[in-house]
Chain A
């Protein structure tokens, strides 16, 4: 049964260094937990890609097209001639398009965030409540006791104040 080694650190620099050492030692991607965003994670653990921007882009395009279709479709289906002016008029319909572009851009961004950050969490995940206050944690998944010992030794050597063995589902 797999377990997780979790090392608690008092500062972000040591935690980041520990994560880097674990990665170099061949552990599958170590995870950092912190009360604030840590700068320099990508330099140590590799670049991160996010799909959020695509969600935003396609949401905005969908909203814009939908907004214009709503306004123009309404004008065509419920004709309301005014002083010989065209039925589909761009200036007012572009305002509806603009608002709907932003609305759906926002909604799609939220959806992208939830999907890419895997929210909401359905089952219990590895966590140390101290990391919401003033501690910085590094976790790695360990297949057996030997791997855990090796990870714990690396974490302690990097300056971990405490190392915990957290089993999945605990």
Chain B
């Protein structure tokens, strides 16, 4: 057990991280191979099929003109939220426990955003016209409508993707330098470029500290704005069940909730398969568990509020919407969501549960299944039951849509697996900061 071993030294941290980058076992290649195969077979092949035969290959039709692609888009944007956002908040509040886990959490943000952006490409049907959303002079006299929440979305996600990429890169510069000195061949060339010539001088640390804090301060309101804006894609319509002022905080809380659950899943996998047992400990799971519990209570409250405001509005369309949600065609999914996201997380009131790795993994996956369901229901239940009963209809995703949903997960896993072999997945210098400094430790050992 780690407590019986000799205390962790600074050099051990370098060794562990460099080993995680350069030593690659057979299991890694097998997992990567499977992930890439699933991504090709379940994501790219169905997407090309849809491009060839047209958007009709998806199950979206009147009245439910939006479907799982947009549910996946919201889901992936949501999953992206806890990474960089949580990392920024914990950086500003000087939380020591952040330091072992934030790098992977930020990578999650980056790849979730990339997958989310790809889901939009899949949804629009003709992605080769996507540049029409960008403001540039053209012969058609076509400029984007800056009053539309869809364009707010383009701006917000572009900014968030840029910010997240810069944030993870800036925090990694000292680690690239540490790895640069220990590698050879193409890796050395890569890390020489990425580390920019970092030497760890007092001036460089000072500048990095300032820049990193400024970035954190800028990214926190940005992250909140991103999911608020995603919610306005829906809330600015007049569809019953969507036209609600609670939607922005509802989406932001849901995003942080699913993102934190995603971090628990990723932490478990890293701890187990990258041998980071002594870096990612019960303390991290305990703290993440407390955060998840708080978020689950907040999410449950907002869900109750959503039902209440619908009922309190006294309009027949809203009544019908609530009735349909609780007892209609999609009701089993609604109650599954409540079970996974509101009831099961109450187990985290127990410290024993929060500090148990496997139960926390199972719960984190259950929460994300529930949160995907939430996003699906936001779209499917509302569009299926609008004002006029003659326009009511049920939406069931087609095989192409289900396949692309599964494939998007494989795309995420593939990107993450490539990341852990290029980026130091745990911050070397920040983990060292949490350890006793060299001389002090020797002194305490002598005494």
Given known pairs A37-B209, A119-B197, the reply for A106 and B439 (CB within 8 Å) is no
Choice from B152, B199, B201, B203 contacting A96 with Cβ under 8 Å: B152
Minimal Cβ-Cβ distance residue in B for A68: B146
Measured between alpha carbons, how far is A113 from B165 in the docked complex, in Å?
Answer: 16
**Chain A residues with Cβ under 8 A from B170's Cβ?**
110, 113
The answer to whether B178 touches A35, judged by C-beta atoms less than 8 angstroms apart, is yes
Choice from A38, A41, A71, A113 contacting B207 with Cβ under 8 Å: A113
The answer to whether A110 touches B166, judged by C-beta atoms less than 8 angstroms apart, is yes
Among A12, A75, A105, A114: residue with most chain B CB under 10 A: A105
The answer to whether A31 touches B207, judged by C-beta atoms less than 8 angstroms apart, is no
Measured between alpha carbons, how far is A77 from B218 in the docked complex, in Å?
Answer: 31
| Closest CB in chain A relative to B160 CB, distance in Å | 9
| Closest CB in chain B relative to A12 CB, distance in Å | 6
Minimal Cβ-Cβ distance residue in B for A91: B147
The answer to whether A98 touches B225, judged by C-beta atoms less than 8 angstroms apart, is yes
| Closest CB in chain A relative to B156 CB, distance in Å | 5
Interface residues of B in 389-447 (CB under 8 A from A): 428-429, 432-433, 437-440
Interface residues of B in 189-212 (CB under 8 A from A): 196-211
The answer to whether B163 touches A102, judged by C-beta atoms less than 8 angstroms apart, is yes
Minimal Cβ-Cβ distance residue in B for A42: B206
The answer to whether A33 touches B197, judged by C-beta atoms less than 8 angstroms apart, is no
Interface residues of B in 1-25 (CB under 8 A from A): 9-11, 14
Interface flags for B198-237 (1: CB within 8 Å of A; 0: not) read: 1111111111111100110011011001000100000000
The answer to whether B211 touches A113, judged by C-beta atoms less than 8 angstroms apart, is yes
**Chain A residues with Cβ under 8 A from B202's Cβ?**
31-34, 38, 41, 45, 48
Among A14, A31, A107, A109: residue with most chain B CB under 10 A: A109
**Chain B residues with Cβ under 8 A from A21's Cβ?**
none
Measured between alpha carbons, how far is A59 from B144 in the docked complex, in Å?
Answer: 24
Measured between alpha carbons, how far is A54 from B376 in the docked complex, in Å?
Answer: 44
Interface flags for A67-95 (1: CB within 8 Å of B; 0: not) read: 00011001101101010000001001101
The answer to whether B438 touches A134, judged by C-beta atoms less than 8 angstroms apart, is yes
| Closest CB in chain B relative to A66 CB, distance in Å | 11
Minimal Cβ-Cβ distance residue in A for B173: A119
Q: Is B118 an interface residue (CB 8 A)?
A: no
The answer to whether A11 touches B439, judged by C-beta atoms less than 8 angstroms apart, is yes
Query: Interface segment, A125-133, A140-148, A149-157?
Result: A125-133
Interface flags for B130-167 (1: CB within 8 Å of A; 0: not) read: 00000100000101111110011001101100110010
**Chain A residues with Cβ under 8 A from B203's Cβ?**
31, 48, 117
Choice from B141, B158, B432 contacting A103 with Cβ under 8 Å: B158
The answer to whether A131 touches B199, judged by C-beta atoms less than 8 angstroms apart, is yes
The answer to whether B205 touches A34, judged by C-beta atoms less than 8 angstroms apart, is yes
**Main DSSP-derived SS at the B contact region:** helix
| Closest CB in chain A relative to B155 CB, distance in Å | 4
The answer to whether B215 touches A106, judged by C-beta atoms less than 8 angstroms apart, is yes
Interface residues of A in 5-57 (CB under 8 A from B): 10-14, 31-38, 41, 45, 48, 50, 52-53, 56
| Closest CB in chain A relative to B16 CB, distance in Å | 12
Q: Is B371 an interface residue (CB 8 A)?
A: no
Choice from A33, A75, A77 contacting B199 with Cβ under 8 Å: A33
Q: Is A99 an interface residue (CB 8 A)?
A: yes
Q: Is A1 an interface residue (CB 8 A)?
A: no
Q: Is A64 an interface residue (CB 8 A)?
A: no
Choice from B166, B181, B209, B438 contacting A106 with Cβ under 8 Å: B166
Among A41, A77, A92, A133: residue with most chain B CB under 10 A: A133
Measured between alpha carbons, how far is A123 from B14 in the docked complex, in Å?
Answer: 26
| Closest CB in chain A relative to B197 CB, distance in Å | 3
Measured between alpha carbons, how far is A77 from B199 in the docked complex, in Å?
Answer: 51
The answer to whether B211 touches A112, judged by C-beta atoms less than 8 angstroms apart, is yes
| Closest CB in chain A relative to B178 CB, distance in Å | 4
Q: Is B108 an interface residue (CB 8 A)?
A: no
Q: Is B293 an interface residue (CB 8 A)?
A: no
| Closest CB in chain A relative to B246 CB, distance in Å | 18
Q: Is A169 an interface residue (CB 8 A)?
A: no
Measured between alpha carbons, how far is A80 from B148 in the docked complex, in Å?
Answer: 12
| Closest CB in chain B relative to A11 CB, distance in Å | 3
Q: Is B74 an interface residue (CB 8 A)?
A: no
Give 18 A-B pairs besides A60-B218, A75-B147 with Cβ atoms closer than 8 angstroms. A10-B439, A33-B199, A34-B205, A41-B202, A52-B211, A70-B135, A74-B146, A82-B147, A100-B155, A102-B225, A103-B155, A106-B218, A109-B211, A113-B207, A120-B197, A132-B14, A133-B14, A134-B438
Interface residues of A (CB under 8 A from B): 10-14, 31-38, 41, 45, 48, 50, 52-53, 56, 60, 70-71, 74-75, 77-78, 80, 82, 89, 92-93, 95-96, 98-100, 102-103, 105-107, 109-110, 112-114, 116-117, 119-122, 125-127, 129, 131-134
User: Top 9 closest A-B pairs, CB basis?
Assistant: A121-B197, A11-B439, A134-B10, A113-B211, A71-B146, A117-B207, A37-B205, A132-B178, A120-B196
